[in-house]
Structure 1
């Protein structure tokens, strides 16, 4: 069988959910983490000139969201039918929207703290809190998962991006979100994920 290889930078970012799903599925893979220089020297060799790239069963997969959904189908992480898959996608896209709330805030802490900057950031925090409340409600309905009684790719995506979302926000946005915190802890303590996290070099996001 062809070797599985994941290529990304030395961040969690868009590759971390892929790592989590491969690890949980018991797939051995090369976790290739490029330096910025290595990436720019080789980007012309990548489809679309970007990463992550997943070499899987002799094929080259790209576009992170497409990879997530492919792995979800392959490893039965999107439920039993189209309705389950829909609710997985709803959770996934809502988590994405939490991150998008802070897209224009990148580096905001280095900006002069004008009233406009602070008001903008406060508005972004309010929007993120609203979305997180919706995710909390989905977990409440489904006994702590985005799909009742089973793991889904949305669960892995949340846990893999938990710290990244806090980094984007500049603070812990999961305070008073007990179900989201519990889900992250549950995913992080799955045996293969725990072993990976215990040996993984620390990165910011």
Structure 2
């Protein structure tokens, strides 16, 4: 059987939910790190010139959202029917919306003087408020479903949340999940699954 290989930057980012699902399913995979400065050298070898790219069963998978859904189907992580799959997708898209709130807000790249001069402080406050709205919705969804995005079931949305919190907090510049006990409990539950814990123990240190 062809070797499974995941290519991405040396951070959690869009690849971490993929890593979590592969680890959970017991798939041994090669985690290939590409540095941003070197991406231009391999762009012509990538389907869309970007990462993540997953080599799986002799095929090349790309577009992160499509990879998540493919793995969810393959590993039975999208519930029992189309309605379960729909609610998984709703949860994942809402988590994506948290990140999109910070798309224009790149305050971590600016000095305090630059923030003041460019209006970045007000922009950041607006982004935090928008992200908080979506985070509240996610917390409420877990409350309705006994701590999961699908009631009584482990789903790919759970893995997506756990794998995304680090990058979302980095983008926000603070812990935007600090007062969300259910979201934090779900993250901890996923990270304490034996297969995920084993992956995290051997994962190289990352900035986010």
For Structure 1 versus Structure 2, the TM-score category normalised by the shorter chain is over 0.9
The alignment status of 1:145 with 2:161, answered yes or no, reads no
Shift, 1:52, TM fit: 0.9
Shift, 1:113, TM fit: 3.5
Structure 1: gaps spanning 5 or more residues: none
Q: How does 1:73-112 map to 2 (within 5 A)?
A: 73-108=73-108, 110-111=110-111, 112=114
Moved more, 113-122 or 75-84: 113-122
Aligned with residue 129 of structure 1, among 129, 132, 137: 132
Q: Which runs of 4 or more aligned residues in structure 1 lie more than 3 Å from their structure 2 counterparts after TM superposition?
A: none
Q: Which whole-Å CA distance do the structure 1 matches of 2:125 and 2:32 have between them?
A: 38
Distance 1:114 1:37, change over 3 A: closer
Determine if contact 2:87/2:150 at 8 Å carries over to the other structure.
yes
Q: Which whole-Å CA distance do the structure 1 matches of 2:14 and 2:191 have between them?
A: 17
Q: CA RMSD in A?
A: 1.4
Shift, 1:37, TM fit: 4.3
The equivalent residue for 2:16 is 16
Q: Which whole-Å CA distance do the structure 2 matches of 1:32 and 1:40 have between them?
A: 16
**Aligned residue pairs: how many?**
205
The equivalent residue for 1:29 is 29
The equivalent residue for 1:114 is 116
Determine if contact 1:108/1:117 at 8 Å carries over to the other structure.
no
Shift, 1:120, TM fit: 1.6
Determine if contact 2:107/2:115 at 8 Å carries over to the other structure.
no
Q: Which whole-Å CA distance do the structure 2 matches of 1:109 and 1:5 have between them?
A: 32
Shift, 1:109, TM fit: 5.7
Q: Which whole-Å CA distance do the structure 1 matches of 2:73 and 2:154 have between them?
A: 12
Cα deviations across residues 29-54 of structure 1 (Å, max 9, x unaligned)?
11111233443211111101111111
Q: Which whole-Å CA distance do the structure 1 matches of 2:182 and 2:163 have between them?
A: 16
The equivalent residue for 1:194 is 197
Shift, 1:114, TM fit: 2.3
TM-score (norm 2): 0.94
Structure 2: gaps spanning 5 or more residues: none
Determine if contact 2:105/2:124 at 8 Å carries over to the other structure.
yes
Shift, 1:15, TM fit: 0.9
Q: Which whole-Å CA distance do the structure 2 matches of 1:48 and 1:108 have between them?
A: 28
TM-score (norm 1): 0.95
